[in-house]
Amino acid sequence: MQSPDPTAEDESQAVSRRIQRLSLHLTPNYPFPRNDAAQQLELVECASKAAKLTVDTSSLSNYMRGKHREIQDRVLDYFNKRPELQTPVEILKDDHRELCMKQLVGLVREAGIRPFRYVVDDPAKYFAILEAVGSVDMSLGIKMGVQYSLWGGSVLNLGTKKHKDKYFDGIDNMEYPGCFAMTELHHGSNVQGIQTVAAFDPLTDEFIIDTPNDGAIKWWIGNAAVHGKFATVFAKLMLPTHDTKGITDMGVHAFIVPIRDFKTHQTLPGIEIHDCGHKVGLNGVDNGALRFCSVRIPRDNLLNRFGDVSRDGKYTSSLPSINKRFAATLGELVGGRVGLAYSSVSVLKIAATIAIRYSLLRQQFGPPKQPEVSILDYQSQQHKLMPMLASTYAFHFATLHLVEKYSEMKKFHDEQLVGDVHSLSAGLKAYVTAYTAKSLSICRESCGGHGYAAVNRFGSLRNDHDIFQTFEGDNTVLLQQVAGDLLKQYKEKFQGGTLTVTWNYLRESMNSYLSQPNPVTARWESEEHLRDPKFQLDAFRYRTSRLLQSVAVRLRKHSKTLGSFGAWNRCLNHLLTLAESHIESVILAKFVEAVQKCPDPSSRAALKLVCDLYALERIWKDIGTYRNVDYVAPNKAKAIHKLMEYLSFQVRNIARELVDTFDIPDYVTRAPIAMQSDAYSHYTHYVGF
């Protein structure tokens, strides 16, 4: 009898091993104990058979929305009862602008909600109103922000008592609609480079506002094209001197300039206004361009909190230099960034709600001779949406923390707190808006062809939100500010200085983060360890500390040959990665803190699950960095990935409750595919069946 062919036997065994390995991709062999339901996980049914948490949606919603829930409900109830003020899917630019103005005037005068009264005294309440208003129509949110945060905020924050006494009531009740004229055609991010001039004339006790060239035309100015009657104009203050120069540039200052007649609404003499036209999004906001030709305004129209001019043309300031005055001026305007970060999370909540509700409803394919299954039961759909849902929760708590810090800053004016809020707002605004912009496209794709219908909102949300990455500071520029502050803090750490609150971990743990990774903990792979907040925070902070230390070395090296500017540019991508890593560390720290503070056990358990998914997904995204320095051993990396997938399955099981916690009314999502009851009938009714 012939013996078996050993070569054929080896090939057969190899094929069996490969099939077994492939099958593990479909039904993962989890490295931690599971209950009976989890042991039966299969490709399609995995999520539905996993142990499901019980979530008290009402309790979790109360914890999430906090003390300003009532004012938000007042905003939403007002527009719910006024369907004629709800923005239709199809609307012309000019009609949208007029509707936006009616919405804002109605909110203030009819509903009796006065956002301006909270801008300084209770910023958290102001931002809560802004979130609710922006969810109704993003154009309305931006128009409200221009009126109260920018135009009104500049009067309150850069002016003095005389300005508040004169303008507060008119701004508050919408009799004085205004603009914020900072950006110019040739200068956006580089505000110190603006060219508009305000020259003082001592003979008439007036400032003369001039646009010296086309590049100095004020551009993209909200409220300018149609509705604005005033503008806060940023210009270089020029004072006459008795030396050979004859004039001195005192740096950028802000001036109140009337731009339209109160009775006729006609453009005032010397002012030229043009419409910036149809935009990619936010077409309910009337952006315009302003040119000034020898426009005279009273000396009192200088917003003089940080610098003043006397009747005889002498300049006085409590701050000793142009740079310090400029920094103080921009520091008072940081509220705009806070509002954008906060509002961007609101947009993400709406998009995630629509996509997840649809994914729970939509059924496609399934096992042979069995009913079709929800598309959210597919691992690929969970991979798209569950980490996004976790990030939405993480961003919610991080931006809530930012609002609280900003409120403290406005109350106490502590110098260290001002610096902390400035950097934190820059980083969160850049990080959150960039993430939301990418997520909006993912949500649209996750809803297939139905996501492409305008009525289901992804198009308008994406178009309206896109500019969030640019205005109130270009995201790339803002991240560089964060990196610059981190390097400053790094230097302070080794010189024994005081660190601001956000960077405390640099002092507390820099040495341990920069030491060699522990070869024992690098191999720990138990579920208890991987879900331990200490492991997660340490991993995030280790990465940030390594990036900070390495970029500091690179900058020092390149500065010798390229100079400081050239070295910065050579290391720019490294610096941006550092800033993003730091902001992720802050986000996770605030999420962990929020989980620990949650009083309701069921809500706390749900938040812990979501927080763990957020942390492990971020670690897995950058697993190469951790592997390169042996912070995570190969077996631990695999365990992180498998646990992340399992947590994603569990989050899918409570996804309905988690998005319902956002408490977004159907008329706000406005997407038929996201209606909580009988979505398909809403959709067919919309198209005329």
Give binding residues for FAD as ranges. 183, 222
329: which 2 tokens? 């001026």
Q: How many residues does the chain have?
A: 689
678: which 2 tokens? 């009988």
Selection from 345, 318, 332 nearest residue 180 by Cα:
332
Gap between the Cα atoms of 667 and 673, Å rounded: 12
621: which 2 tokens? 């995204």
Per the DSSP assignment, residues forming a β-bridge with 308 are 316
Gap between the Cα atoms of 311 and 204, Å rounded: 10
90 is catalytic: no
Selection from 343, 334, 350 nearest residue 432 by Cα:
343
Torsion (CA) 130, 134, 136, 139 in degrees, nearest 10: 130
Selection from 395, 441, 401, 435 nearest residue 417 by Cα:
401
Torsion (CA) 593, 595, 597, 599 in degrees, nearest 10: 180
Helical axes 335-361 vs 679-686, angle rounded to 10°: 100
DSSP secondary structure code for residue 374 in this structure: B
Gap between the Cα atoms of 134 and 342, Å rounded: 10
Helical axes 504-514 vs 533-570, angle rounded to 10°: 90
Gap between the Cα atoms of 118 and 115, Å rounded: 6
Selection from 52, 41, 58 nearest residue 609 by Cα:
52
Gap between the Cα atoms of 102 and 357, Å rounded: 32
DSSP secondary structure code for residue 314 in this structure: -
Per the DSSP assignment, residues forming a β-bridge with 343 are none
636: which 2 tokens? 């631990």
Selection from 469, 435, 458, 468 nearest residue 139 by Cα:
468
Yes or no: say if 377 and 364 are a contact pair by the CB < 8 Å rule: no
Q: Residue 597 burial (CB < 10 Å; 0-12/13-18/19+)?
A: exposed
Q: Specify the 3-state DSSP secondary structure of 4.
A: coil
Torsion (CA) 225, 226, 227, 228 in degrees, nearest 10: 30
Active-site choice (472, 525, 584, 657): 472
Gap between the Cα atoms of 28 and 251, Å rounded: 64
Yes or no: say if 377 and 652 are a contact pair by the CB < 8 Å rule: yes
Give whole-number Cα distances, 184 to 214, 221, 250, 468, in Å.
Answer: 9, 9, 19, 18
DSSP secondary structure code for residue 184 in this structure: B
Per the DSSP assignment, residues forming a β-bridge with 374 are 363
Gap between the Cα atoms of 222 and 53, Å rounded: 47
Q: Specify the 3-state DSSP secondary structure of 210.
A: strand
Gap between the Cα atoms of 617 and 644, Å rounded: 6
283: which 2 tokens? 């077409």
Yes or no: say if 150 and 330 are a contact pair by the CB < 8 Å rule: no
Q: Residue 254 burial (CB < 10 Å; 0-12/13-18/19+)?
A: buried
Selection from 596, 632, 624 nearest residue 611 by Cα:
596
Catalytic residue numbers, as ranges: 472
